[in-house]
Amino acid sequence: MTTVTPRAGAATAGPKPFYANFGFQVLAAMVVGLALGWIARNIGPDAAGQPNWLTVTLQTTGSIFVQLLQALVPPLIFTAIVASISNLRQLSNAAALVWQTLLWFALTAFIAVLIGIALGLIIQPGINSGAIAASAKAPGTVGSWLDFLKGLVPANMLGLQASTRIDGGAATTRLGFNVLQLLVISIVVGVAALKVGERANSFLAFNESLLAIVRKILWWVIRLTPIGTIGLLGNAVAQYGWQTLQQLSWYAFAIYLGLAIVLLIVYPALLVLHGLSPLRFFAGAWPAIQLAFVSRSSVGTLPVTEAVTEKSLGVPREYAAFAVPLGATTKMDGCAAIYPAISAIFVAQFYGVPLGLQEYVLIAFVSVIGSAATAGLTGATVMLTLTLSTLGLPLAGVGLLLAIDPILDMGRTAVNVAGQALVPTIVAKRQGMLDQAQYDRAGDIEAIDAGAQTA
């Protein structure tokens, strides 16, 4: 546990009871959420065939918590990226940090996709899976390289985009932020501020103040994580349960085995090679990993990921504020490497389409280069359709897998977020910037909160 030195004149507080520990509170909330979700699922729908009151309560609680986190994402990304670019000028190795970050993003994604391909060939989920539910839905969004390229170009200065959904003859339009476009805008503004010179000092000072305010607000929201966990995990169990895994058990097994290998073998091996303790890494990154698992949102988890990377793992703020938001939109070993690799092989095996060396090379290429396509669109489903269309495989195969996608998405997102904290830690270590003493004390989110008090 991290020891925090009290301020001058402040009374020294004794050790907090175990139930006051944030990590314990979230774990307890996960147990409560599983129990309430099981109860809600067994109650079943009401007399009108609608979700029962408990399911609605869990769903509402979880969605409100995610909305609060996501509301902070746009100002956090913009202010953090702009501030980090302005701070990078103070570092003599800024260029090396940028290219090494991108290199390690690609390298770890390449390792993950190789594992996915190997598991797909060994387990053969498309051949061994049983009958698939006829209620499986076709994908509503299809990814393409053109969509990816268009998603890079901002349509407006706020990165806003509108999406229209037609349900029962009624059209509903929602406004949202295109995270990839917002990232591009933030980088451009940050670089432009540097080029302007002294005339941008007032703007950069305002941006720093706004970033501090956003950080304070997000810590208020993060304290609600136990409540949000109950709603999110309980709703997942109430709506989907684990029965749907029976029809695609070999496929789900291959996905989770691949995720486990990356998370528990590949990542620790990379840490050991760099002289870092895997136990300390997981102790420090655990708050972000467990929040990613229940929220199923890398972007929604971004505030926590950035905080643990800086406050627990010892990555300098000026670098963490750049690398973590970049990773949240482009570094997805679960959604963009393991998942599309195994899923593409599943679809090929299910439809009896033979794959050769060229197709496996294409899978690796799409996973390493095209992972950013998941940022501005609709996550793993878009990445999978992008992979299938590149290989010429039937897109209808996506509909076979959507029935259990929410269950798989929890594990995928947890691995995504772990990788988003891992790469900045490794790069900081390689560049001699990592606060080793802080890293060796990692494991208590209370220390992060103490740091946030002075942010």
The pLDDT tens digits of the residues spanning 207-248 come to 989 988 987 887 788 788 888 888 888 887 787 666 655 667
What gap in Å lies between CA 301 and CA 359, rounded to an integer?
34
Within 10 Å of residue 135's Cβ, how many Cβ atoms?
Answer: 9
What gap in Å lies between CA 206 and CA 325, rounded to an integer?
20
Burial of residue 42, with CB atoms counted within 10 A of its CB: 0-12 exposed, 13-18 middle, 19 or more buried: exposed
Q: How long is the chain?
A: 455
pLDDT of residue 175: 61
Query: pTM for the complete prediction?
Result: 0.76
What gap in Å lies between CA 49 and CA 55, rounded to an integer?
13
Output Rg (C-alpha) for the chain, integer angstroms. Answer: 22
Q: Closest by alpha carbon to 119, among 267, 250, 268?
A: 250
Please, which pLDDT band fits residue 277 given cuts at 50, 70 and 90? Answer: very high
> Could you read off the pLDDT of 362-399 as tens digits, one per residue?
888 887 776 655 554 445 666 777 778 778 787 777 76
